Structure 1
Amino acid sequence: MRESVKHRLIGAAVLAAVAVLFLPSFFKDRQQYQVDTSSHIPGRPSITAVDFNEPEQPEGIEPAPAPETMFVPEDPPVSSLPDEKENAASPVVVSASSAVSLTSQSSSVSSITPPVDQVLPEGWVIQVASLSVQEGANKLRDQLQADGHRAYVRAVPLANTTIYRVFIGPKQNKAEATALKTQLDSRLKVNSLVLPFKP
């Protein structure tokens, strides 16, 4: 009988020791994981209604016209052409002296006007390239001459430097020069120009 009581006391002591060790940690964990369910939403703000007054037209300003009449001209357009009947009824009379003076003026104007042959260019040239180095221009000229073209170099002075333009020609008509320009652009990968020949 004493042995059983002794075993019970030992078991009770062990359980008490275990309870003392584990119960505080159990309650501590429950306290750490508690969720705060209280509301943090602020209260509804108080809004004061504002009344807006109707806009008033300032003094001294005339109201705008209606859209239908805004772009209508005030006065009807006046025709600047004279009456055809009046022109037909009043023929122009030219005196003999006036006719002579008009004839002399027309003859003087025709004498001042240059003939058509002087206005037209004497030929057409193709400007193949415009280079800043004379050696490169001379090399391109020699290459074109080796291909059978009448090529030449013309120096053009500018403000701070001199450029050297390589030409081919002149050709008698513009169509021939344009056809040659197309061939040169395709072969040399350039964008040449067809210009009137200036000796």
Structure 2
Amino acid sequence: MASQLQNRIVGSVILIALAVIFLPELLDGQPQQRQETFDAIPLQPELEVAEMPVTQVPEVEQFNGVAAVETVELDAEEAPVMRKSTAASPTAPTAGDLKQPGWVIQLGVFRNQASVDRLVEQLRAAGYPAYREATQSEQGVRHKLLVGPGLVKAELEADLPKLKELTDLNGRVFRYEP
């Protein structure tokens, strides 16, 4: 008798479990799926454009990049020796000066940092605000020898012959934006 009672209890438990699992799905109906709606982008309206004659467009100088700069690679022994100059002695650039936009003279790009540092010290002793800037290139680290910055391009261009006389390096004036 105990086995019949056990069979009925087990059967009842199974039926109750099936009812708990499947009955909610049957009573809910079809599950709703959320679909996002996308708005179509409207076509560009056709507009009539009135043509106006162009007056004169002002010339704007742009920075052409380092590719146009002649690269000079010298060792410390081969670096040019500076001649004495009677130039006025302006102060070296401060961190605040280097953050303002303007113009800068690039005298060359060197592989040897020691020769660039020596030239920077000689230029500073001659009264020019010189500094060096390290850049990464395909061949490794290169050091730019820079003088400036200045706010007026013509003033820096006027210094080019004096710097050529001092260092035997042809410099170029570039736009400087920190």
- Which TM-score applies when normalising by structure 1? 0.39
> Bigger relative contact order, structure 1 or 2, given CA contacts below 8 A and separation 6+?
2
Greater fraction of residues in helix = 1
